[in-house]
Structure 1
């Protein structure tokens, strides 16, 4: 592995030899390493059997976020089929970090597009994420987000008959709960509490994107699912981009996509959470 990492550094334009290579925890998909040289430190992710284009899409996603001029992203030094080499972000969170994070997410959500989706498909976790362009929100939500995960769950034997009946009912009746519109904005796409970091000055950084143009509430709903965002962050967001008073009625439905993703990756441990949402809207 050390020789592979040394080659990855060289391929990324880093000519100094690594002095220490330390594997760190935190990733459920790739192995993660902090690599220190005489003068610098780097973060490297390694996935021996990464899907085709996996790290290329991560690099493109970070570029997509950087162009929004919302929050910083790590510099990418290079990538190939099995790894990506990036700037190491290593700091601690303060109240100012949390405020800056809220403003930054809101700023990202003010970057408007003309349609929903993205030029290319990418990944949510290791699963394909379908991004074919769509003019309206409900068709995109139904056909490019919920339906592919529901169909995948069925193929994996995780869409039992009662679960299937409710899932397809929701697909057919999204207009009962979700307003259709054409206001697409930039999204991080996988914005849970583990996908942002603070640097040594306390400034927040986006990491591990699954980007696309979508509905800002869809992303906001996911930030509430697993925690990692403080009241300070939400207050700063709301000050910059006020949250609709009906958001909480739609929030569980928007969380369904991510829970289906987890069901399909990790199995039935997420089944009860999926069922609660299905029952809420189709029970």
Structure 2
């Protein structure tokens, strides 16, 4: 690994001595290291045999968010994907939360959600964990959410034999009726796409940073719903967010439908422990 570290550092003209490197937490599917040279510290994310464009998409997502000048993301210094392995060499972010960190996160995320696109979806297929997310741009959010989010994951769950034929038919009935609960006339907001509690970190002066995006343009309430799925974010986050981007009165009724996508993803990634939660949501609506 040291040879790869040095190769990456030399690619950005850091030829100073690599003083130290050690593994750090980097998620379930990648190796991660902190590299310390005489010049500065870096975060190095590495994966053997990555899927096509795996790190390219992450870099593009970070750079797209950065362009909005709304919320902080780490700078990517270098990337390589050669079939055998791939990596991102990035800015090392480290800091402690302050009493305004959660408020900053809510306010800055709301500002990012005001950055809009010309359609719903994204120009390239992306990844959530190791699962492919088919994309493309749609004129309305309901069709995109049905055809590019829920349906592929439901199909995969059925192929994995998690669904009975009877339950599969119930899912199809739900897909046919999404317009009862989901908004039609909305503006496509730039979304992080995988915003759970592990995908934001704190930098200097308590500044919140987003990491590991899987970006798309969609309903901003889809993003907020995911923040509430596994434990939720701090209360001050939601208060600050709502001051900038108030949630609709219909949000509580559609929130489980937005949870459904991420629970289907977890079902397909991690197995049947998520099947009960999926079934409860489908049965709630159908």
Tell me the TM-score normalised to structure 2 length: 0.94
1:196 aligns with 2:204: no
What are the within-5 Å matches in structure 2 for residues 225-240 of structure 1? 225-240=229-244
- State the Cα distance separating 1:225 from its structure 2 match: 0.6
1:157 aligned residue:
161
1:270 aligned residue:
274
- Offset from partner CA, 1:41-72 (integer Å, 9 cap, x none): 10011110211100000000001111122101
1:41 aligned residue:
41
- State the Cα distance separating 1:111 from its structure 2 match: 0.9
What are the within-5 Å matches in structure 2 for residues 1-283 of structure 1? 1-81=1-81, 82-282=86-286
Unaligned runs of 5+ in 1: none
- Pick the structure with more strand per residue: 2
Tell me the TM-score normalised to structure 1 length: 0.95
**Contact 1:194–1:228 at 8 Å: present in 2 too?**
no
- State the Cα distance separating 1:38 from its structure 2 match: 1.7
Structure 1: distance between partners of 2:231 and 2:69: 25
CA, structure 1 residues 251+84, in 2 after alignment: closer, same or farther (shift >3 Å)? same
CA, structure 1 residues 26+84, in 2 after alignment: closer, same or farther (shift >3 Å)? closer
SS in 2 for 1:92: coil
Number of residue pairs the alignment of both structures matches: 282
- State the Cα distance separating 1:228 from its structure 2 match: 4.9
- Higher mean displacement: 136-145 or 223-232: 223-232
- Offset from partner CA, 1:3-44 (integer Å, 9 cap, x none): 222222223443223211111124111011111112311001
**Aligned Cα root-mean-square deviation (Å):** 1.4
- State the Cα distance separating 1:157 from its structure 2 match: 2.1
- Offset from partner CA, 1:180-214 (integer Å, 9 cap, x none): 12411100111111111110211011100000110
**Contact 1:22–1:34 at 8 Å: present in 2 too?**
yes
Structure 2: distance between partners of 1:214 and 1:37: 41
**Contact 1:13–1:77 at 8 Å: present in 2 too?**
no
Unaligned runs of 5+ in 2: none
Q: After TM superposition, where is structure 1 displaced by more than 6 Å over at least 4 residues in a row?
A: none
Structure 2: distance between partners of 1:190 and 1:211: 8
